[in-house]
Structure 1
Amino acid sequence: MTHLPQPLHDWFAARGWEIHPHQQAMLDAAHAPSTLLIAPTGGGKTMAGFLPTLADLHASPRRGLHTLYISPLKALAADIKRNLRTPVDEIGMDIRIEDRSGDTTYTQKRKQRADPPHILLTTPESLALLLSYEDAPRIFNELQRVVVDEIHALAESKRGDQLMLGLSRLQALAPDLRRVGLSATVEDPEAIASFLARHPQPTKIIHADPGPAPDISMLETETAPPWSGGGGRYAIPAVLEQVKRHNTTLIFHNTRAQAEIFFHHLWLANEDQLPIGIHHGSLAREQRMKVEQAMVEGSLKAIVCTGSLDLGIDWGDVDLVIQIGAPKNVKRLVQRIGRANHRYNAPSKALLVPANRFEIVECKAALDAVKEHDLDGEPRSTGPRDVLCQHILASAASGPFAADDLYREVTTAGPYAKLTRDDFDRCLDFCATGGYALRAYDRYQRIVERDGKWQLRDPRSAAQIRMNIGTIIDTEMLKVRLKGRRGGSALGEVEEAFASTLSQGDTFLIGGQIVRYEGLNEMTVEVTRRASDNPKVAVFSGTKFANTTQLSQRIMRLLQQDSWPDLPAHTAQWLTLQRERSKLPEPSRLLIESFPQDSREYTVIYGFAGRNAMQTLGLLLTQRMEEQGLDPLGFLATDYATMIWSLQPVTDPTPLFKIDNLRQGLEDWLAGNAVMKRTFRASAIISGLIDRMTQGKRKSGRQATFSSDILYDTLRKYDPDHLMLDITREEAMKGLIDFGRIEEMITRTRGAIDHLQLDRVTPLAAPLFLEIGRVPIKGAAEERLMAEEASLLMAKAGLE
């Protein structure tokens, strides 16, 4: 057993603390090549990650960078810095701790490169940038440890892939480097361990005592949830009552727009003038920091928020979490629950507020999953090649490299362990020439091979490469500022597409305020504060989550129960009525209902494949129906169903669901689709084909889109096998289109279809008629209806 150094032991004792078993286990594993710690929120996992560092620096004081701490959030790094300074300062250890992010001054960054601190807290993007400099070997050659916090969050995105490539480069610079991953919420520890590992070496997994089960339930309200919608406004009186009873409440929403609407109505109902704030990623940094500081001080009773507060920052005295709307993902729900009660071995308290009747069923399924510790998560795919292309260019910016060496280095990274040499060489060729269709253009020839090593063709391009490092592709946002003051106070950002719909005098919500649009001035939305009872709402870029596969399967199993005593009476009656008039969906069969309504023929497919997949299914099925002369007019998709309306009834749906036909239909539809162009633009920016920044200035959304659209059309015409088109198709299939969930649905049901032809709308289908987001189909049916309407008008005019 490795003992704590005496000063650290005394510091613990002075607080009446004892080292937790998992903290001791981390000390004992200090020399393991790779370690993953899974510990509950409030369990001291950050201290566990740093104890070996503090112990080593106490035993062997030295200069230079010893430990690198990587966080997905700048705010989390700043919070860790505050917490870590306490023991270091109180013990009197001579340890420099600094953070480095986009907010760090240029002067401070230069000092850090010249004289690195003992502990540097940073983000994946800042690490990638540091590694792209020529002096990276000097900065990192004595590095002993890397601590990756909230590793589960990074493992789900390209930021994590970028980070693991960065760790492979760090390991080459510092061969004895030890890796540590910290997480509170992991559905598949082995997968995360493999993600973190330096292949082929394994990762040691340490599990902390998970502590008591959370106190989680559905919020009881006097008013029943509406049949459709996602705002949860009906529950505001009950939510306010809970806010009064607790010290600090976090009120989570799944999208920024929903958070703005809820905050607006919560404030209008806040007759007691309780101090309530709002926090999300589109608010100005100053506003977010003001709310964060108030949370630390405990001066807010409630904060309406989104995923911006998902991760492990210790926010003062939070003792209740309320989730508005079904969580869609059990792992995310557990993460959010952990924000309540940052104390070890004390249960977190949370309440779920279903936004509509069907979400009651979703919330019940999620509650059951939490109680059974059944977390969800989609399997990780191979590391994306657009991120690899960026890494190759960044490696060249730091100095010449041999292709064999870089390939060996890259394949030690978990996401790229199975990367073939052929795929690596295609990425290398792309970085060198731009590919077959682009090799004649000088700007795409960025690296060359000289004397067996690859290097930048023009050393001056290193600055441009560094300027464009990163994998986060923002929806083009415009600043919102108050007009009439010098500089104007920044309120936040709105999407460029939303701003383009505004006319002078229009009002909208941002940061809980109603503002009036006055005009656009140099890419800034200028507003004034004007009261309005009916504001528009900014369409923020917050993700619209889809139900995970595991949660969808739980919902279907719940629907198969004989009765539902744990559900509210009105919801149980609704499901019973559906069983009497039609049937309830089964996991191993595909339920399809057909019925007439308002002179239209409706077909409802209960696929439970998540919103993106059900949306894609609607596009593909209406395409097939058009070919069969069924005259589809439009469709609507939710997480659990796709509803199509047409002029002709579907009498035999079986041919519509042949997987080969659906796949071919997808290929035809994708060929020139806007989804593909949008996906291509994102991958082209990440890979370095298109610059998002040039000469220190960010391109406008229109500039970048214009460039990417021309490139996309050029490659499709002249080089259809181009690497970027392959990457685009892969990304689209697993992203917005989610065709894999459709394939899973068809595999799961094995062609077993229950097609019920009914004489009227069913209880389960009825709420779909109240949903927004209908997609019209432009085809033969529209032309036929227009012709019939014209004929009626002519007849009324006596012309027929």
Structure 2
Amino acid sequence: MTHLPPALSDWFAARGWQLHPHQRAMLEAAADPATLLIAPTGGGKTLAGFLPSLAEITAAPKAGLHTLYISPLKALAADIRRNLRRPIEEAGLPIRVEDRTGDTGATQRKRQRADPPHILLTTPESLALLLSYEDAPRIFAGVQRVILDEIHALAESKRGDQLMLGLARLQSLSPGLRRVGLSATVEDPPALARFLGGGAQILHADPGPDPDIAMLETEAPPPWAGGGGRYAIPDILEQVRRHRTTLIFHNTRAQAEIFFHHLWLANEDALPIGIHHGSLSREAREKVEAAMAAGALRGVVCTGSLDLGIDWGDVDLVIQVGAPRNVKRLVQRIGRANHRYNAPSRALLVPANRWEVIECQAALEAVRDHRLDGEPRGPGPLDVLCQHILATACAGPFLADDLYTEVITAGPYATLSRADFDDCLNFCATGGYALRAYDRWQRLMQRDGKWQLRDPRAAAVLRQNLGTIIDIETLKVRLKGRMGGIPLGEIEESFAATLTPGDTFLIGGEVVRYENLNELTVEVSRQPGRDPKVAVFNGTKFATSTLLANRILDQLQRPSWPDLPAHTAKWLNLQRQVSRMPEPDRLLCESFPHEGREHLCLYGFAGRNAQQTLGILVTKRMEELRLAPLGFVCTDYATLIWGLEPVTEVGMLFDLAQLREGLETWLAENAVMKRTFRASAIIAGLIERSHQGRRKTGRQATFSSDILYDTLRRFDPDHLMLRITRQEAMRGMVDFGRIEDRLTQVAGRIDLVRLDRVTPLAAPLFLEPGRIPVQGEGRERLAEAAAARLMAAAGLA
């Protein structure tokens, strides 16, 4: 067992602190190859991860890197540095701690490579960059431990795949490396332990008290459709008044901006309230973070940028506006309140509409039952592997056999076949069959059996393009003025293209006036007003998880709903009287006329992406069957289709083989594939997002990727990048797997209920935005009828 150095023990004793059992357990497990610690927020899990390192470095201080700490957020690394320095400095420990992220200056980065600190705090992207340098073996030769904080968040994205490949490389450079994973929200600990690798053992801390969580009772009922929760602003403001600091979470950045704007207009008491999300400038985010840490803010409207374990101040209430979509994310957000061990977190849910009332109740019950969701992840993506191969070549020559052996030690790539690895290597070397004639994609060559860069000068451009976060198609926003003006954040390029001088929009909670576009910067001036446009921010739009969808279906089967507000229970009772309730093992379809059109409502409960795909495929089948569909709209729970002919039989619409065939045909020509190809091509290194320090515009990248996509489809349809694109589209934007799972679950038990009017559950879908038209026979018939009426009116019939 590793023991704390006396100086640190004395420092703890002077404050009357004692180590928690899980912190002692981490000291006892210090020599183990890999450990996954699952501990509640506020339980000191990050300190538990560092204690063995503090003890080992103090016991045998020597120059060089001992411990790497990796977090998903740059701000989290900076926060940990501040928190670590206090015990180190006050206990007089001979330990140097530094962070290295995208915000670290070039001079400091250069010095860190020459003289690494004992503990380096960084991100997956910065680690990948460090490993790509020729001196990586020297930098990492003595590293003893790597600590992965919030590992559950990393495991859910390609950043985690990139990180695990980096750890496999680190393990080769330092065979004695020990791994530590830290998390508060884990639905499947053994799966996360396999992701961490190294035969990780799992340590569970005392989970502490259950959170104090409820639905906010509002004076006004939620609307029938829409989002944002504006109806609840008076009630939310009252909660802000009653608490020290309240975090008000939203699911998207645009919703956060709209809500903050109206919250501020209603804030007659001038309570200090801020806004924080990933599209704001670093300066704006740091200003809010500093104010929170100082206890100067009563409320902060935020998004996922504050999901993770940053301890900004005395937060005593979390409010989630809008259905959480994911129980694990909700638990993570709840943990921001009362960030102390054995103190219950307090949270309130605010549904944005009537459907979300049901989802919020299902999420509340899931939290109380300690049930977390998480969709199983597939094998490690090949575009990330391609990037890793190129980065490895930047560091020096390598043998293919050695690299393959190393790669399959990474959890996500444990089942990688040699054939797939060789395909990725061939792609990195030549670009593949259709592109091998072009010099720009001839990047690797073999010499003495080892693979190396064909042109060493290419390393600089490859390093500029490392990373799996696709943040393309955004433009910086600055206040117009001298020296480039004050940075405010960024907006999507597609939104900027719609602006004309004088237009106003929201960013950072204030209304600004668009002045002009100066190269890749949107220049604005302050323009107070109440009716701005709203930037279309590129934040993640989550789909309701399978676990939550299933719990909602179970909830709908209850004989009554005493836990739901009276207005929602009345709505559900009326549905039961008029039609039927959707059931877990059956698929409910309702058919009815409304305003001269025939409607079909499909209650799939498969998440928004899958429900939209279902709308596309079913309307395609309806077109083939001469049912003349005109359009559809969807939510996470249902798809509403309208057309000219009534649907009297639905079995033929849900033949899985025909749906799959229809999907293949649709994907072949659809823009979804081009968008997916573009993202994967950037990650794999086929398309540059930066060249010689200059970042390409979204339009430039799109133009390049569209040409490549069309070329490969025509001349090399089995190209690696097209295979990757199809895999990514199927599990991403299209989410066809959830449709397959749902149809397999119902096993042909599909109920069609024919009614003479709109049903209670279908009614809110008529109010949903985002209607998608269907071009086909129905539109042609409408045009012919309109032409006939026009000619008749002109006396020409």
Question: TM-score, normalising length from structure 2?
Answer: 0.99
Residue 562 in structure 1 maps to residue 559 in structure 2: yes
For the residues of structure 2 that align with 1:281 and 1:546, how far apart are their CA atoms?
20
- 1:479-628 counterparts in 2 under 5 A? 479-628=476-625
Cα drift, residue 484 of structure 1: 4.0
- Tell whether the 8 Å contact from 2:387 to 2:685 is kept in structure 1 after alignment: yes
Cα drift, residue 519 of structure 1: 2.0
Give the corresponding residue for 2:139: 139
> Once structures 1 and 2 are overlaid, which stretch shifts more, 371-380 or 466-475?
466-475
- Tell whether the 8 Å contact from 2:248 to 2:319 is kept in structure 1 after alignment: yes
What SS class does the counterpart of residue 732 from structure 1 fall into? helix
- Tell whether the 8 Å contact from 1:611 to 1:640 is kept in structure 2 after alignment: yes
- 1:203-352 counterparts in 2 under 5 A? 203-352=200-349
- 1:23-172 counterparts in 2 under 5 A? 23-172=23-172
Summarize deviations over 1:366-398 as a string: whole Å, max 9, x none. Answer: 000000000000001100000000000111110
Summarize deviations over 1:9-48 as a string: whole Å, max 9, x none. Answer: 1111111111100001100100111100001111000110
Summarize deviations over 1:157-186 as a string: whole Å, max 9, x none. Answer: 000000000000000000000000001111
Residue 785 in structure 1 maps to residue 782 in structure 2: yes
Cα drift, residue 504 of structure 1: 2.0
For the residues of structure 1 that align with 2:564 and 2:129, how far apart are their CA atoms?
52
Summarize deviations over 1:681-717 as a string: whole Å, max 9, x none. Answer: 0100100111111111111111111110000000000
For the residues of structure 2 that align with 1:532 and 1:769, how far apart are their CA atoms?
31
Residue 173 in structure 1 maps to residue 170 in structure 2: no
Cα drift, residue 486 of structure 1: 4.0
Give the corresponding residue for 1:362: 359
Cα drift, residue 794 of structure 1: 1.3
Counterpart pick for 1:402 among 364, 382, 399: 399
What SS class does the counterpart of residue 318 from structure 1 fall into? coil
- Tell whether the 8 Å contact from 1:495 to 1:541 is kept in structure 2 after alignment: yes
Counterpart amino acid of residue 712 in structure 2: L
Q: Give unpaired runs (5+ residues) of structure 2.
A: none
What SS class does the counterpart of residue 164 from structure 1 fall into? helix
For the residues of structure 2 that align with 1:533 and 1:566, how far apart are their CA atoms?
38
- Tell whether the 8 Å contact from 1:2 to 1:24 is kept in structure 2 after alignment: no
Give the corresponding residue for 1:458: 455
For the residues of structure 1 that align with 2:325 and 2:742, how far apart are their CA atoms?
18
- Tell whether the 8 Å contact from 1:515 to 1:528 is kept in structure 2 after alignment: yes
- Tell whether the 8 Å contact from 1:615 to 1:642 is kept in structure 2 after alignment: yes
Give the corresponding residue for 2:718: 721
For the residues of structure 1 that align with 2:165 and 2:327, how far apart are their CA atoms?
29
What SS class does the counterpart of residue 469 from structure 2 fall into? coil
Summarize deviations over 1:249-277 as a string: whole Å, max 9, x none. Answer: 00000000100010011001100000000
Q: Which 4+ runs in 1 deviate beyond 3 A?
A: none
> Identity rate of aligned residues, in percent?
74
- Tell whether the 8 Å contact from 2:7 to 2:93 is kept in structure 1 after alignment: no
Give the corresponding residue for 1:746: 743
For the residues of structure 2 that align with 1:518 and 1:443, how far apart are their CA atoms?
39
- Tell whether the 8 Å contact from 1:475 to 1:541 is kept in structure 2 after alignment: no
Counterpart amino acid of residue 28 in structure 2: D
Summarize deviations over 1:503-560 as a string: whole Å, max 9, x none. Answer: 2222111111111222222122122222333211111011111000010000000000
Q: Give the superposed CA RMSD.
A: 0.8
- Tell whether the 8 Å contact from 2:2 to 2:52 is kept in structure 1 after alignment: no
Give the corresponding residue for 1:642: 639
Counterpart pick for 2:630 among 621, 628, 633: 633
Aligned length: 797
- 1:647-686 counterparts in 2 under 5 A? 647-686=644-683
Counterpart pick for 1:757 among 751, 754, 777: 754
- Tell whether the 8 Å contact from 2:472 to 2:697 is kept in structure 1 after alignment: no
Summarize deviations over 1:624-681 as a string: whole Å, max 9, x none. Answer: 1111111110000100000000001111110110000000000000002101000000
What SS class does the counterpart of residue 575 from structure 1 fall into? helix
What SS class does the counterpart of residue 63 from structure 2 fall into? coil
For the residues of structure 2 that align with 1:443 and 1:786, how far apart are their CA atoms?
50
**In the superposition, relative to structure 1, how do residues 128 and 315 fare at CA in structure 2: closer, same or farther (>3 Å)?**
same
What SS class does the counterpart of residue 316 from structure 2 fall into? strand
Q: Give unpaired runs (5+ residues) of structure 1.
A: none
For the residues of structure 2 that align with 1:729 and 1:465, how far apart are their CA atoms?
25
Give the corresponding residue for 2:387: 390
Counterpart amino acid of residue 710 in structure 2: D
- Tell whether the 8 Å contact from 1:74 to 1:123 is kept in structure 2 after alignment: yes
For the residues of structure 1 that align with 2:204 and 2:462, how far apart are their CA atoms?
40
Counterpart amino acid of residue 95 in structure 1: I
For the residues of structure 1 that align with 2:707 and 2:442, how far apart are their CA atoms?
19
Summarize deviations over 1:286-341 as a string: whole Å, max 9, x none. Answer: 11110000000000000000001000000110000000000000000000000001
Give the corresponding residue for 1:436: 433
For the residues of structure 1 that align with 2:747 and 2:731, how far apart are their CA atoms?
22
- Tell whether the 8 Å contact from 1:65 to 1:118 is kept in structure 2 after alignment: yes
Counterpart amino acid of residue 543 in structure 1: T
> Once structures 1 and 2 are overlaid, which stretch shifts more, 477-486 or 673-682?
477-486
What SS class does the counterpart of residue 671 from structure 1 fall into? helix
- Tell whether the 8 Å contact from 1:620 to 1:662 is kept in structure 2 after alignment: yes
Summarize deviations over 1:227-263 as a string: whole Å, max 9, x none. Answer: 1111101100110000000000000000001000100
Counterpart pick for 1:705 among 694, 699, 702: 702
Give the corresponding residue for 1:191: 191
Question: TM-score, normalising length from structure 1?
Answer: 0.99
